[in-house]
Amino acid sequence: MYQVLYCLTDEHDWRLVALAGAVCLLASAAAISLFHRARAAHGGARVAWISLDAAVAGGGIWATHFIAMLAYGPGAAGAYDVPVTVLSLIFAIAVTFIGLSISVSTTRSPLIALGGAVVGGGVAAMHYTGMMALDIPANVTWATGTVTASIVLGIVFGSLALFAAGRGDSLSGALGATVLLTVAIVSHHFTAMGAVKLTPDPARAIGGLSIPPGSMSFLTASAAVAIIAIALVAALLDRRAKGELGRQQVVLDTALENMSQGLCMFDADGKIILFNERYAAMLRRADMPLTGRLLVDVLREEQAKGHWQGDVEEFFARLVVDAREGRTTTDVVKRFGRSIRVVNQPMQGGGWVATFEDITEWLEAQAKISHMARHDALTNLPNRMLFHERLEQGLRVAKANDQLAVLCLDLDHFKDINDSLGHPIGDALLQEVGRRLAACAGENDTVARLGGDEFAVVQLGRSEEAAAAVLAGRLVEVISAPYEIADHQIVIGVSIGISLSPQDGSNPDELLKNADLALYRAKADGRGTYRFFETGMDARAQARRLLEMDLRAALQRNEFEVHYQPIRDVASDRVVAFEALLRWNHPQRGLISPLNFIPLAEETGLIVQLGEQVLRSACADAATWPDDIGVAVNLSPVQFKSPNLIASVIDALEASGLAASRLELEITESVLLQNSEATLATLHELRAKGVRISLDDFGTGYSSLSYLRSFPFDKIKIDRSFVSELATRQDSMAIIRAVTGLGRSLGIVTTAEGVENDAQLELLRREGCTQAQGYLFSKPRPASDVAMMLERPRLRASA
Ligand SMILES: Nc1nc2c(ncn2[C@@H]2O[C@H](COP(=O)(O)O[C@H]3[C@@H](O)[C@H](n4cnc5c(=O)[nH]c(N)nc54)O[C@@H]3COP(=O)(O)O)[C@@H](O)[C@H]2O)c(=O)[nH]1
């Protein structure tokens, strides 16, 4: 130590020492600045920055050494061997290049320090090579311990310098690194100079290819100028780069802080190197120190507070391994009641970026959309799609001997309620029906609304057909109970078709189709009831479809004709009118009774067109009869739903020229059942035109008498079921007596239908029945037979 101090104070010119220190400081500042540029660059640009850095640092070490050698008194007498001097410069640059390359290309602190140690080694390599270039008339000996100390100093301060530089590009960091690198070079040099002992030896001559100290001054001055120039350029570049970096930083910060996602960047060890406020807020880490901390430590702290559950070490290790192996992972985690999607994306050069997105609302919206897609908006019951899924699921789960039932429900005459009371009431009714259905079904059953007034139930886990029958019976009862909706008392029935798995089908489509066929049967059997699927229903449905097609074609081909049955006045025994009765003259099947096609025509709506044809034909035919003979035409309830009914009656009368008073329209009680206000208005309008209105099939409905109060009918037609039992049943006689009496007192004509024998006619005559109609007089016959029917009172045999 003493030797070093002695060397520095007594053997050196302090002015030149100060100059060497200044050059060294300048070169170190430039080297550290270039080191940061090299770290920020990639690929070829990085190699270029490292090369420039090595040239500046190596040149700086070399210039410092030789300026310091000029300051060294004993050295002033010698000269420098040129090749060795050049070699020392090459060493300085090459070894520094290696050291810088190591430090620049890693983020791991021990490796950065190792690179610094190599740079320190480069300082020593240059120094001792440079000392070998000293050509002086003296013998040079070295103190080994001091030499070792000089090398250690260079290595230690060199590694500290780059370690400090590697921690960041801050001004203080750069200053610290600059000073440490300067100390590495200077401390090494002067300690090494303290190790030198010169023993004058005039016999030693200075070699041929040597450079004198004067020239050496020029060379080192040039090197110093070059270093200062490079340092200035480097500083300028540094400033610019920092300015650019600063701008980029502002942009980056703005982007980071305005991101809706949280972002956190980790190095290869799992240390937090960057994060935004959203990240801290989302994970409630705003009041925790984060930068520079290992994630595992942050998680441990959170776990201690009860904010994190699970195995911290295992979780952290998995993240680090995934990043190291280049795996991108995505997880949805629950934090503080929110759902957060975390994407961990590995970064080049180690570490990973984690993005955090709060998807709570998105998940809720997804759940809502999915619910809406699979539920009915009005009743909130499962819709057809979900019903299908549940049915499929039920079929999968159902064990081999477990039965599963599908019940298809259809509200009876719902359309009438919708049309008469309006859609809001119809909607409220459907909602209430949905509630009642859900309340009746078992907890494993699924109740769905398939659309309109169609509902369905999957009954699970019952082993007997009886269970489905019990449920269906209960549903019919519960749905038929009166509803109180917006001051309206509503009564509606329901028809149910049932199919059972496995016997009626093993897949949802088959089961639904068969339950539908059974539903059709329930409707055909009078509605308000349930039916199980039976083999053959399919065939019947098929036949029905064929009939429907045939019916449409028959309309096109004019295969329908009207037959007439006489109606006789009982007192005068004379024909007063004919009832028009439709027949289908099928090319293959012959004459088809209306009983076989009118119900289907009503269901399909074809009855409207068909009814108009009958009206036109009947009026046209009647117009050719004597003026005192009327014609009666049957109107279906479906025709009353057509807005054209009145117009078509007027058209038929006008086209035929028949007086309205000769036309009689026969309606049944069921017409009055539907939308009675509108129906009554239509009837009044027809009546106002002069057309007469008869109440057909009287006595077969539930409250026939009340209908007589609702409209002033011109005629009551006593159903033939009473007439046929006239002789055998007292009550039939009593009813006929009551009706004829009622007709008399109200001034309404009474017509007995289905009179088949003289005994019946005689009894009716005695009871004062006004008119009679039946096979006793004639069966319905074609229009061409009307003249004959008018002439001959009895045509039974020829019918
Ligand atoms: N909407 C329309 N309905 C129509 C039309 N044409 C007929 N119909 C209705 O079809 C039902 C069956 O009619 P049909 O087979 O013609 O039977 C009628 C008579 O043939 C039958 N009848 C008459 N007298 C006797 C008898 O002595 N015995 C006996 N067993 N049957 C007899 O009664 C039917 C007439 O009934 P009604 O209409 O009640 O007067 C039938 O309901 C027709 O209404 C049409 O164009 N449109």
pLDDT of residue 797: 42
**Cβ(753) to ligand 1 under 6 A?**
yes
Which pair of tokens denotes residue 186? Answer: 């200077």
Domain 565-581+605-791 matching CATH 3.30.70.360: the answer reads: no
Query: Can you give the residue ranges of every domain in the chain?
Result: 2-239, 262-363, 375-535, 565-581+605-791
Indicate whether residue 579 lines ligand 1 (CB < 6 A).
yes
Q: Are 266 and 295 in contact (CB under 8 A)?
A: yes
Confirm if 103 and 227 have CB atoms less than 8 A apart. no
Mean pLDDT confidence for 416-442: 92
Non-local CB neighbours of 410 within 8 Å, separated by 6+ positions = 453, 454, 455, 494, 495, 496, 519, 523
Q: Is 697 in the pocket of ligand 1 (CB under 6 A)?
A: yes
Instruction: Give residue 669 CA to ligand 1 midpoint distance, Å.
Output: 15
Pocket of ligand 1 contains residue 581 by CB under 6 Å: yes
Q: What is the SS3 assignment for 148?
A: helix
How far does the centroid of ligand 1 lie from the alpha carbon of residue 594, in Å? Answer: 8
pLDDT(248) > 60 = yes
- Min mean pLDDT across 86-100, 394-408, 630-644, 770-784 is at 394-408
Round to the nearest angstrom and report the end-to-end CA distance of the chain.
149
Beta bridge partners of 72: 12
| Structure confidence by residue, pLDDT tens digits, 119-158 | 999 999 999 998 888 887 778 888 888 999 999 999 999 9
Average per-residue pLDDT in the chain?
89
Whether ligand 1 lies within 6 angstroms of the CB of 696 is answered as: yes
Domain 375-535: which CATH number of 3.30.70.270, 3.30.70.260, 3.30.10.20, 3.30.230.10? 3.30.70.270
Cα–Cα distance measured from residue 460 to residue 397, given in angstroms and rounded to the nearest whole number: 9
Ligand 1 atom closest to residue 579's alpha carbon, by position in its atom list = 40
Q: Is 780 in the pocket of ligand 1 (CB under 6 A)?
A: yes
Query: Is the confidence at residue 387, as pLDDT, over 90?
Result: yes
- To the question of domain 262-363 being in CATH 3.30.450.20, the answer is yes
Rg of the chain over Cα atoms, rounded to whole angstroms, equals: 56
Q: What is the pLDDT of residue 198?
A: 79
Give me 57's structure tokens. 């640092």
| Cβ contact 432:541 at 8 Å | no
pLDDT value of position 799: 39
pLDDT tens by residue, 469-509: 999 999 999 999 999 999 888 999 999 999 999 889 989 99
Residue-wise pLDDT for 3-14, tens only, equals 666 666 666 778
Binning the chain into helix, strand and coil, the percentages to the nearest 5 are 60, 20, 25
Say which DSSP state 12 is in: B
- Answer whether residue 798 shows pLDDT above 60: no
Mean pLDDT computed over 732-755: 93
Q: Name the least confident of 4-8, 250-254, 742-746.
A: 4-8
Could you tell me the pLDDT band of residue 728, with boundaries at 50, 70 and 90? confident
- Any ligand 1 atom below 6 A from CB of 565: yes
Q: What pTM does this model have?
A: 0.50
CB atoms within 10 A of CB 383: 19
Q: What is each CA distance from 390 to 291, 375, 434, 473, in whole angstroms?
A: 52, 12, 18, 23
Strands (E) in 428-493, as ranges, are 446-451, 454-462, 483-485, 488-490
Q: How far apart are CA 594 and CA 780, in angstroms?
A: 12
Amino acid at 739: V
Is the pLDDT at 675 greater than 70? The verdict is: no
So what's the pLDDT on residue 17?
A: 85
Q: Considering only 54-63, 183-192, 221-230, 263-272, which range has the smallest mean pLDDT? A: 221-230
In this predicted model, what pLDDT tens digit does every residue of 33-64 receive, in sequence order?
889 888 888 788 888 889 989 998 998 899 88
> Tokens 């008018």 label which residue?
790
Long-range contacts of 246-249 (CB under 8 A, 24+ apart): none
- In whole angstroms, give the CA distance from residue 364 to residue 392: 27
- The response to whether residue 598 sits with its C-beta less than 6 Å from ligand 1 reads yes
- Hey, which of 584, 634, 756 would you mutate to test ligand 1's pocket, going by the most ligand atoms within 8 Å of its Cβ? 634
Q: Which has the higher per-residue pLDDT, 735 or 659?
A: 659
